[in-house]
Amino acid sequence: MVAPESPSRILIADDQPDVLEALRLLLKCEGYQIEAVKSPAAVLKAVEAREFALVLIDLNYARDTTSGQEGLELLKKLQALDTSLPVVVMTAWASVDVAVEAMRRGARDFVTKPWDNPRLIAIVKNQIALGSAVRAYRRLEEENQLLRGKGGPTLIAQSAAMRPVLEVISRVGPSDANVLITGENGTGKGVVAQALHAVSVRAGKPFISVNMGGLPEGVFESELFGHVRGAFTDAKSDRAGRFELADGGTLFMDEIGNIPMSQQAKLLRTIETGEFERVGSSRVCHASVRLISATNSDLPSEVAAGKFRQDLLFRLNTIHLHLPPLRERREDIELLALHFLKQHVERYRKSITGFDDAAITAMRDYGWPGNVRELDHAVERAVLMTQGKIIHAPDLGLNLAREAAPRLEEMSIEEVEAFLIKKTLARCDGNARRAAEELGLSRSAFYRRLEKYGL
């Protein structure tokens, strides 16, 4: 039996008993557990002793004081104790200057007395939810650092849909078993591959990644197995291939479903024996490599169609790990958005502190056809577009993605080409090889366009 979730605890502070009682009754009726105090010192003592989901504080406590300085000083001290604790300030004096200063010092929102009950309840509810997401993200970040070491992959996954993924990583990660990761484009297959490597006994060895679908057939063997000087026209020196570079570690082969049949037998031999020859050499080399592969293709269907070797699939598919699309793990959206926000704020040196309620709602409701990768791009766009310290829904540009397709006569040649590629990929269920065939492009030309248009 699952234990019922305990009610969120709220700390309220005001020097007027009637205000405290009114707030206590209002918030208690909403299902919250309330603790009331009358002074800044009592607030700090309570926060140091217990955990609160939100703190609601008055800005003035001493009689005949309207400057708000007591509350602002208290706010500063609360931020020093816990920056993730949501603090909402209130005052009977609706001063814009004081409100701005309170927000600058870390307050999440601002209400004036007498308050509007529905608005106050909405603020409390939203800020508790956001504070919970912030704390969960920080906890995940700390767990990632402990589990994988500083600089390791950050796998944001708290939703029920991702629990099987985390369980497989925990059970299979330490082994040397080959893993095949499947899922739609943008679901985070590369991050999961890094997480598997990071919890394995090979974690201190190289993690080498290669986009198999982006390798032109003429350089396939050279890229994977290396070459010696003079093996072909441009081979001006010896070069190690990906298998050799990954010796002792993990080789992540992305877009494995796009390998031509003519190359699959060569790959199979190396997977089975660990042996290979550099192009232009007869000397047999050996590499101890753990293989992790990824694809958005239906490989059993490709096998049935004669486009993928069944014996190769058996070798790659010791463990099958399927990643759900972002629309099936909506509980992770806020955590992921906060993660990407932190990254892009640091990258672009912005002073953005978070998302407003409308932006959070928009992200929750959006379908995310491009999955986690699209969310990352949307947050990056918002960081660049927003003019304040808070990201608003229009900054994310999500409505643009829902608009009807633009008229061709209004588009440039590059826009038409990018639009056509996106439509063809969607029609082919994300299968890059089939999309390239339908468009009459070679795989290398197709992947160059994908890179050019950021697809």
The per-residue pLDDT for range 298-326, each reduced to its tens digit, is: 899 999 999 999 999 999 999 999 999 99
Q: What is the CATH number of the domain that holds 125?
A: 3.40.50.2300
Structure-model confidence comparison of residues 47 and 405, the more confident one: 47
Residue 1 has pLDDT above 80, yes or no: no
Residue 424 has pLDDT above 90, yes or no: no
**Residue 249 covered by a domain:** yes
* Model pLDDT, residue 59: 84
pTM (2 d.p.): 0.62
Same domain, 173 and 305: yes
Among 300, 322, 344, give the residue marking a domain's end.
Answer: 322
Q: What is the pLDDT of residues 342-396, one digit of tens each?
A: 999 999 998 898 999 899 999 998 999 999 999 999 999 999 999 889 999 999 9
Mean pLDDT of 252-278: 90
**Residue 434 covered by a domain:** yes
| Mean pLDDT for all residues in the chain | 84
Residue type, 409: E
**Residue 117 covered by a domain:** yes
Residue 403 has pLDDT above 50, yes or no: no
Same domain, 208 and 244: yes
Same domain, 203 and 105: no
**Residue 152 covered by a domain:** no
Q: What is the pLDDT of residues 180-238, one digit of tens each?
A: 999 999 999 999 999 999 999 998 899 999 998 888 877 888 999 998 888 887 777 88
Full domain range(s) for residue 351:
326-402
**Residue 155 covered by a domain:** no
* Model pLDDT, residue 63: 66
* Model pLDDT, residue 5: 53
Strand partners, 286: 275
Same domain, 99 and 22: yes
Same domain, 292 and 380: no
Tell me how many domains the chain contains.
4
* Model pLDDT, residue 4: 42
The rounded percent of the chain whose pLDDT value lies above 70 is 89
Distances (CA, A) of 175 to 247, 292, 316: 16, 12, 14
**Residue 266 covered by a domain:** yes
Mean pLDDT of 44-71: 83
Same domain, 113 and 68: yes
Strand partners, 279: 227
Question: How many CA atoms are closer than 13 Å to the CA of 66, on its beta-carbon side?
Answer: 8
Pairing of β 239-240 and β 226-227: antiparallel
**Residue 178 covered by a domain:** yes
pLDDT band at 405 (very low <50, low <70, confident <90, very high): very low
Q: What angle do CA 156, 125, 387 make, to 5 degrees?
A: 70
Among 272, 304, 322, give the residue marking a domain's end.
Answer: 322
Same domain, 169 and 318: yes
pLDDT band at 412 (very low <50, low <70, confident <90, very high): low
Same domain, 331 and 317: no
Are the CB atoms for 227 and 175 separated by under 8 Å? no
Same domain, 70 and 106: yes
How far is Cα 71 from Cα 39, in angstroms, rounded to an integer? 10
* Model pLDDT, residue 455: 66
pLDDT band at 450 (very low <50, low <70, confident <90, very high): confident
Q: What is the CATH number of the domain that holds 442?
A: 1.10.10.60
Q: What is the pLDDT of residues 58-68, one digit of tens each?
A: 888 876 666 77
**Residue 156 covered by a domain:** no
